[in-house]
């Protein structure tokens, strides 16, 4: 694999204001279009909502058969089972860790393999504990409950594809590159803090044996890449895929050319500071009405009355706290739910009310 830029990337070594920071488990997907005008299920360690609540992904118990270091601060997990659900590039799994924490990781193996799933996790030193648990407590022989696969970041048909991956953000991109048909037009910019911290470099190189499509930019060697150059001269209707830290995705979104469609996979949901006023929540089946203060969450208010309400991440990552909304306008603050799900449900750990009252089917 060549690290020399091809002609349309001739200025890739110019600085650009973005960070290739270490990321947490990948979480959620979103799309932006800028156009000219086997195993038997078992009970989860995390409580589940009642049968009348929103549907949850199928739960399986899988065996960890590999726990390997594949880069500085990155471990690969292979989880084996029987007759596993198939998946498409861009899909992820919910892992229920031994502590009960739920974290999401991109599938980066072979979609045709129905006997195992492969994910990779970067250690986040200042995180909330999930990645450290994956690195230090999960090991070969550990049984983990998984939910899914689910896909919020699907590979779409397009005349051309451009991929930007930051660090662990390469994981959902790898299966996409493998799935592109022979002769497809694509390019990849893969950046990281150091070469040693960038997983799957060898695998990426095998996808570009003649060079010219892949540019690898370790920040300590080459500085930060020039996204303006990478995104220049894209064919009309190019699908641009980006996964990585928020700064990287914001920089790509700012530079998205007209006529391109942007697909993002975030490590965490975007939050807003708008509309943090007080509002009421009626719990329809419980017959209770609660007040949600401006500095608190719907989840906190609900759990004060219904302490068994399921939740996990409290950041809009996992979907565990998803609830059906019967009345009221929702201020969605997650990037996890699909457009159809947003019509009548919300993640009560982060989302709020745009008005003064919500009615939940609880």
Measured distance CA(67)–CA(77) in Å, rounded: 5
User: Judging by DSSP bridges, how do beta strands 330-331 and 102-106 pair with one another?
Assistant: unpaired
Instruction: Give the pLDDT confidence of 313-339 residue by residue, as tens digits.
Output: 777 877 889 999 999 999 998 877 888
Residues 352-358 have a mean pLDDT of: 94
Tokens of 240: 């641009």
Instruction: Say what the pLDDT of residue 31 is.
Output: 52
pLDDT confidence bin for 195, thresholds 50/70/90: very high
Q: What dotted CATH number matches 1-268? A: 2.40.30.10
Residues 292-306 have a mean pLDDT of: 92
User: Judging by DSSP bridges, how do beta strands 239-243 and 161-166 pair with one another?
Assistant: parallel
| Rounded to 5°, angle at Cα 310 from 309 and 311 | 120
Whether 35 has a pLDDT exceeding 90, the answer reads no
Residues 177-186 have a mean pLDDT of: 96
pLDDT confidence bin for 269, thresholds 50/70/90: low
Whether 26 has a pLDDT exceeding 80, the answer reads no
Measured distance CA(168)–CA(199) in Å, rounded: 7
Instruction: Say what the pLDDT of residue 29 is.
Output: 52
Residues 172-197 have a mean pLDDT of: 97
Tokens of 354: 């745009």
Tokens of 242: 């980006």
Tokens of 260: 């391109």
Three-class DSSP labels, 43-62: CCCCCCCCCCCCCCCCEEEE
339/292: higher pLDDT:
292
Strand partners, 116: 80
Q: What dotted CATH number matches 279-360? A: 3.10.20.30
Name the strands in the sheet holding 116-122, side by side, starting at the edge strand that comes first in the sequence.
102-106, 92-96, 143-150, 59-71, 74-80, 116-122
Whether 39 has a pLDDT exceeding 50, the answer reads no
Measured distance CA(24)–CA(127) in Å, rounded: 7
Residues 252-269 have a mean pLDDT of: 86
Instruction: Say what the pLDDT of residue 267 is.
Output: 59
Tokens 């860790």 found at:
97
Same fold, 1-268 and 279-360: no
Name the strands in the sheet holding 288-292, side by side, starting at the edge strand that comes first in the sequence.
288-292, 279-283, 357-360, 322-327, 345-347
Instruction: Give the pLDDT confidence of 112-168 residue by residue, as tens digits.
Output: 999 999 999 999 887 778 899 999 999 999 999 998 898 889 999 999 999 999 999
pLDDT confidence bin for 56, thresholds 50/70/90: low
Q: Where are the domains of the chain?
A: 1-268, 279-360
Within 10 angstroms of residue 7's Cβ, the number of other Cβ atoms is 7
Whether 357 has a pLDDT exceeding 70, the answer reads yes
Measured distance CA(106)–CA(315) in Å, rounded: 18
Say if residue 149 is preceded by a cis peptide, omega within 30 of 0: yes
Least confident of 31-40, 65-74, 78-87, 290-299: 31-40
Give the chain's mean pLDDT. 84
Whether 70 has a pLDDT exceeding 60, the answer reads yes
């Amino acid at each position: 694999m060549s690290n020399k830029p091809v002609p349309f990337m001739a200025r890739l070594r110019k600085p650009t204001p973005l960070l290739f920071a270490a990321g947490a488990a990948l979480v959620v997907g979103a799309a932006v279009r800028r156009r000219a005008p086997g195993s038997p299920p078992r009970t989860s360690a995390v409580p589940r909502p009642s049968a009348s609540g929103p549907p949850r992904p199928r739960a399986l118990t899988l065996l960890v058969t590999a726990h390997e270091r594949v880069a500085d601060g990155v471990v690969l997990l292979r989880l084996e089972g029987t007759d596993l659900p198939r998946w498409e590039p861009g899909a992820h799994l919910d892992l229920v860790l031994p502590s009960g924490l739920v974290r999401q990781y991109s599938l980066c193996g072979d979609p045709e393999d129905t006997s195992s799933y492969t994910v990779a996790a970067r250690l986040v030193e200042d995180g909330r504990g999930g990645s450290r648990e994956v690195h230090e407590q999960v090991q070969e022989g550990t049984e983990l409950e998984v939910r899914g696969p689910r896909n919020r970041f699907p590979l779409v048909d397009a005349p051309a594809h451009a991929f930007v991956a930051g660090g662990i953000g390469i994981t959902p991109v790898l299966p996409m590159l493998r799935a592109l048909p022979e002769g497809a037009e694509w390019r990849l910019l893969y950046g990281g803090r150091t070469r040693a911290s960038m997983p799957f470099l060898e695998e990426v190189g095998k996808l570009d044996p003649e060079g010219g499509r892949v540019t690898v930019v370790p920040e300590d060697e080459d500085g930060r890449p020039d996204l303006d150059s990478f995104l220049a001269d894209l064919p009309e209707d190019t699908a641009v895929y980006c996964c990585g830290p928020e700064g990287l995705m914001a920089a790509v979104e700012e530079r998205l050319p007209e006529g391109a469609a942007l697909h993002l996979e975030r490590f965490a949901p975007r939050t807003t500071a708008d509309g943090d006023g007080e509002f009421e929540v009626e719990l329809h089946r419980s017959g209770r009405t609660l007040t949600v203060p401006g500095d608190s969450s719907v989840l906190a208010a609900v759990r004060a009355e219904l302490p068994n309400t399921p939740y996990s991440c409290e950041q809009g990552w996992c979907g565990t706290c998803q609830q059906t909304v019967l009345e009221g306008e929702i201020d969605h603050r997650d990037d996890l739910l699909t457009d159809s799900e947003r019509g009548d449900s919300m993640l009560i750990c982060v989302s709020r009310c745009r008005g003064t009252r919500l009615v939940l089917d609880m």
